Structure 1
Amino acid sequence: MPATMQDREWAARAASGDQDAFRAIYREHVRPVYWIAHGILGSASDAEDVVQETFVVAWRKLPGFELLGDSLLPWLATICRFQAANRLRRVRRDRANTTDAMDETLPATVSVEDQVITASLADLIMAEVDRLDEIDREIFRLCAVDGYAYEAAAAELGVSHAVVRNRLSRVRSRLRGAVKEVRDA
């Protein structure tokens, strides 16, 4: 059963208090949530804290949550972005209230323009992914989104390591080309 199909079952069981189901959700989505947090915060330790906060919030909210799609990842990503924004505000406030010099590596604000550009690129990438054939979409999901190694993805899909490596390389080239076209335009 594909992981996204399992999300619905796991969410229902976790909402009823099943800790094993919640552990499965955590294992399935911790990597992409971490990279979202790291991309916003730029700090591994802050990203790890935000990941933990994200899953604590998810655990609390699951009993009243209704999964509309097949995957919990968009919901978890939203929680993660809110937690990361809260962390940025807290860090800036704490640093402003100390006598130490302000860390200039933290952005003063979260740029709406950058968020729009990032969202547009994400939409473009998802549209390109949707145009891929089924095996390429699954390889992309397993390796690029879920963080599977080539060998693990090959075992999951019943294909060879070389098939996963070669197809993922072509998919990444295609996505880079689409992004480059948009940036050049």
Structure 2
Amino acid sequence: MPERSEDQEWAARAAAGDESAFRAIYRAHVRPVYWIAHGILGSVVDAEDVTQETFVVAWRKLPKLELVGDSILPWLATICRFQAANRLRRRIRDREHTAETPDETIADTVNVEDQIISAELAERIAAEIGTLGELDREIFRLCASEGYAYQAAADELGVSHAVVRNRLSRVRTQLRGAVKEVRDA
């Protein structure tokens, strides 16, 4: 039997009610989910709300999830896009029922093409992260996902500040290349 990915293990444990496993999923994926929401909504407050709503829905739906692939991020990205679309519809409905002048900055529809690109981008980033070595994945998780400073990540991993800085720079360059491939496609 092939070894399960970290996401697959966390998802199985969380689906069985393990809150610490769900917290691990949250910590690993909250930033990408937030940026997907922010990209759709263009509002920090709404993106934060939708991010939280995404994880609430994910917690509720995890017992029925049949994870395809190694990463749970594409599934979370799909939930996030639906939550963001619901938020946009609510904004439009609220705007139509107020006496104030309409806010022309709110889109009337959600651009499906942008959503597909976001899903492809999330999948490509998740796949690219999966190709990283264990130390590089941990450096990326700590610095990019959890917001650790270089020195704090270095202390946590028992390596030097320079190792964290150099490896993270290389990982970011690799991810930028992957993102460029999706955008140029």
Scaled by the length of structure 2, the TM-score of the pair is 0.73
Distance 1:171 1:50, change over 3 A: same
Match of 1:28 in 2: 28
Retained in 2: the 8 A contact 1:33–1:51? Answer: yes
Matched residues in 2 for 1:143 and 1:135: separation? 12
Retained in 2: the 8 A contact 1:13–1:21? Answer: yes
After superposition, residues 118-137 of structure 1 pair within 5 angstroms as 136=136
Matched residues in 2 for 1:180 and 1:34: separation? 20
Matched residues in 2 for 1:128 and 1:22: separation? 23
SS at match of 2:69: coil
Q: Deviations over 1:31-54 (max 9, x none)?
A: 322222122212122112112211
Distance 1:142 1:184, change over 3 A: same
Match of 1:41 in 2: 41
Q: Deviations over 1:62-105 (max 9, x none)?
A: 11112233332221121111111111111112112211111122
**Which blocks of at least 5 consecutive residues in structure 2 are unaligned?**
none
- Cα offset, 1:169, TM superposition: 2.9
RCO greater where, 1 or 2, for CA within 8 Å and sep 6 or more? 2
- Cα offset, 1:128, TM superposition: 7.0
Match of 1:101 in 2: 101
Matched residues in 2 for 1:79 and 1:28: separation? 16
- Over the aligned positions, Cα root-mean-square deviation in angstroms equals 3.5
Retained in 2: the 8 A contact 1:29–1:146? Answer: no
SS at match of 1:165: helix
Matched residues in 2 for 1:109 and 1:67: separation? 30
- Cα offset, 1:122, TM superposition: 6.1
Match of 2:71 in 1: 71
Matched residues in 2 for 1:128 and 1:13: separation? 24
2:88 pairs with 1:82 = no
Retained in 1: the 8 A contact 2:151–2:161? Answer: yes
Question: Amino acid of the residue matched to residue 100 of structure 1?
Answer: E
Matched residues in 1 for 2:124 and 2:26: separation? 27
Question: Amino acid of the residue matched to residue 68 of structure 2?
Answer: L
- Cα offset, 1:162, TM superposition: 1.4
Matched residues in 2 for 1:69 and 1:181: separation? 20
Identity %: 76
Retained in 1: the 8 A contact 2:74–2:123? Answer: no
2:130 pairs with 1:160 = no
Match of 2:7 in 1: 7
Question: Which 10-residue stretch deviates more, 168-177 or 27-36?
Answer: 168-177
Distance 1:64 1:146, change over 3 A: same
Retained in 2: the 8 A contact 1:5–1:70? Answer: yes
Question: Which 10-residue stretch deviates more, 115-124 or 27-36?
Answer: 115-124
Retained in 2: the 8 A contact 1:36–1:77? Answer: yes
SS at match of 1:110: coil
- Cα offset, 1:160, TM superposition: 1.7
- Total equivalences in the alignment: 182
